[in-house]
Structure 1
Amino acid sequence: MVPRPPPAARLYRRWIARYVPVAALLLLASGLVGFALGSQVPSSWLQAPGTAGQSPFTPVELTTVSLAVHNLGALFVMFLGAVSLGAATVLSLVLNGFVIGAIVAIALKQVSPVVVAALIVPHGLVEIPALLVVAAVGLRFGWLSIQYLRGRTDALLTTRDLREAGWLLTLAVALIVVAAFIEANLTLEIADRFTDADLSGIAANGAVVSPA
């Protein structure tokens, strides 16, 4: 029998209310830094591999499977904060924010803000919440580990912690798959309506990244 999901209010209170704002702040702050520095990067660096300019970011083939696998791997790295006192989660958030900000800054050199928004918003509205949910799990587990090591709690994790985290991670995985489908099949089609420029090089570098 599949266990019943925990009440949404309890999940929000224990996992979302405290840890998602922290994760969002880290992502936003590093994104602003990436945007500021990314504006100094030559636009030619954003070209797809095999052209005259090589992208400074790891490209991802635009298929639902490849995008989902890549982003799930990145989220797994973020979840490793659970066993690194939250350090891996913080590092992953900072790296993702920095790269996203840099990519936006570079893209704005080539296309209009409307096109950049069209490349990011459709799948980003699904992908970013998934990223923040996983970050919340990693940060909370990291905090609980610190509390346990300091002798402030008797147990490292409870069955309730593991069950609730399992539901949140399942939700995040589902969101990532949906976001990958949108990015692979709809994002370019939407953005192409606003420009005649070749967007493949920009779009192929817009996925969640991993510090690995």
Structure 2
Amino acid sequence: MFFFASRFGIFDQQQELIDAYKISMDAYIAKAAELGKTENSRYFSYALLATLIFLYPLNLGFFQIFRKLDLKENIEIGDLFTGYNGTNFFRYISYALFWFVIYGVTINTLILPFVWVCITIFVAPIMFFMNKTIFESISLNFKALKMYFLEIVVCVMVAVIFKYIGFALFFVGALFTFPFWNAMIYSLYKTIFSEKE
């Protein structure tokens, strides 16, 4: 993120936004709209999206590590990169692209991104452990959400708060709180789903 922000002049744009904010909120909003239409802002958005999509299979590596911890098997560094193995890699990045596009469209609303996270929270582990397609996984996730709505919503809220506490601690804390989100998903997944389905 910092590399692309530097490459496309986003830090300079941030300074312009700060200066506009000192004038008034209207000036800030006008400047943000103006800067959002620039070519560099667009390139930064594409680069950030591509990076997030490419890094998505690391989440599956965390699930593999948690599974090995449950089975008391030896953990290897290669387990973290298990989502990059074979042709399933393309399934996972396709899902990540699909997920981020929907999330990006709904991000301006308050409730829809939260709903989207709840509807898709188990899709990655279902695809990974049960070898289901994206839409089969969403269907199974939706059934689980209907049956365990309160538990899932509470766990998502706690995990989101905990995850962003890490970002609030000067980004350094995110390195320690990032796996918590995956651990919460894995814990709920193994409690709710039977892989014999």
TM-score (normalised: structure 1): 0.26
TM-score (normalised: structure 2): 0.27
Larger proportion of helix: 2
Q: Which has the higher contact order (CA 8 A, sep 6+)?
A: 1
